């Protein structure tokens, strides 16, 4: 089974990278972008039957720094 972990900066944490991307988009003439936040996507290929709690543990212990980041786990259905 596969799972995706989305790691995003917590609200209120300044995201200079997102700001720079926002600025570059404006420079390219894209108007109407209110804000940009950059994060990470980590894809995990896991043994079948891996519990949600194990994935959450991975996020808390390594994948995310919960001082500044949130994480969201998305399980992917097995490919047909």
H helix runs in 1-80, sequence order? 16-27, 52-58
Residue 54 contacts other proteins per CB under 8 A:
no
CA gyration radius for the chain? 16
Asked if 61 touches other proteins (CB under 8 A), the answer is yes
Of 28-36, 44-52, 64-72: span binding other proteins (CB under 8 A): 64-72
Angle of CA points 39, 6, 14, to nearest 5°? 30
Per-residue string for binding with other proteins, 5-44, x by CB under 8 A? --------xx-xx--x------------------------
**Residue 67 CB, nearest distance to other proteins (Å)?**
5
Distance CA 61, CA 80 (A): 32
- Residue 13 phi, psi dihedral angles, 5° rounding: -85, 125
Binding stretches for other proteins (CB under 8 A)? 13-14, 16-17, 20, 61-63, 65, 67-68
């Amino acid at each position: 089974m596969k799972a995706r972990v989305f790691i995003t900066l917590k609200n209120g944490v300044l995201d200079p990278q997102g700001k720079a991307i926002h600025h570059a988009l404006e420079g390219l003439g894209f108007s109407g972008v209110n804000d940009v936040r950059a994060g990470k996507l980590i894809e995990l290929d896991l043994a079948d039957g891996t519990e949600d709690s194990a994935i959450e543990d991975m996020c808390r212990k390594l994948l995310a720094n919960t001082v500044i980041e949130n994480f969201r786990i998305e399980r992917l259905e097995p490919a047909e």
